Each structure stands twice: as C-alpha cells, then as structure tokens.
Amino acid sequence: MPHVHRLAVRVRYPEADPMGRLHHSVYLVYFEMGRTEYLRERGLAYAEMERRGRFVAIAAVDLKCRAPAYYDQQVTVETQVLEVRGARVVFGNRAVRSDGGRETVLAEATITGALVDASGRPQRFTAEETRLLLGP
C-alpha cells in the first residue's frame, strides 16, 4: 500500500471565483504544495534536491474536477507516489473535504514529473531516492 501524505488547506478568498467556488487552476497549486510536503516528509526536501542540481519538471497533468470547494472551507490534499522508473515519477493526488463524516472528492490528478539536471537533461532516480519515494 503506497504511503499517503495529507495536508490541510483552507480555501482563501483570492482563490475563489465570483461564485465563491475554488477556481479549478488552484488545485494544481494545492497539489504542488502536497508534492513538496510529501518529499520533505520522505527525507527528500525539494530545496535540497535543487541545491544538488536535481529538479522535477512536470511533464503531464491529468486533472479531473469532481465537486466544488468554497471560500473558507478546509480541504485535505492527499499525495502519493504511484511509480518511479528511470527519470520518471508519477504522483497521485486528491483533494477531499469532509461533509459531516462523509468524504467528498473534489478533484483528482495524476501528475508525471521528470527528474532533470540544471540543463534539462534527464537524470535517473538513485536507488536511495526510489526507496524513499516508494517506501512504507
């Protein structure tokens, strides 16, 4: 069973559209926050990776919006790593809210990243990085 990181986020006023609903583009920001915290929790702080000249460039995003979130609601961002192969890492993300004990999925995404150096050349994940990303 893959490790799932959870991050609580409250929908802020400038993230909402005129109807008070979270704008769909903000899910990508939330999922970026989730990925960063997932990496930190697993011992791969992204700032440290960058200092070593290793960057995760986002190559593909498949986002599905399921239900609205509204200004001032708390949303839980769930992040997990689904696959690591060569220079590729695939993240699974969900944004959910709790409605009186019932969970509502707001958005889901599969986000594929490529590990690259500062010049953009692909770099393989090391065995240790792969272990940290996928481990229990």
Length of the chain: 136
Distance CA 61, CA 12 (A): 23
Instruction: Pick the catalytic residue from 17, 72, 99, 117.
Output: 17
Start-to-end CA span in the chain (Å): 8
Respond yes or no: is residue 117 known to be catalytic: no
Assess contact for 93 and 26: CB atoms under 8 A: no
- According to DSSP H, which parts of the chain are helical? 26-41, 46-51, 127-134
Active site positions, annotated: 17
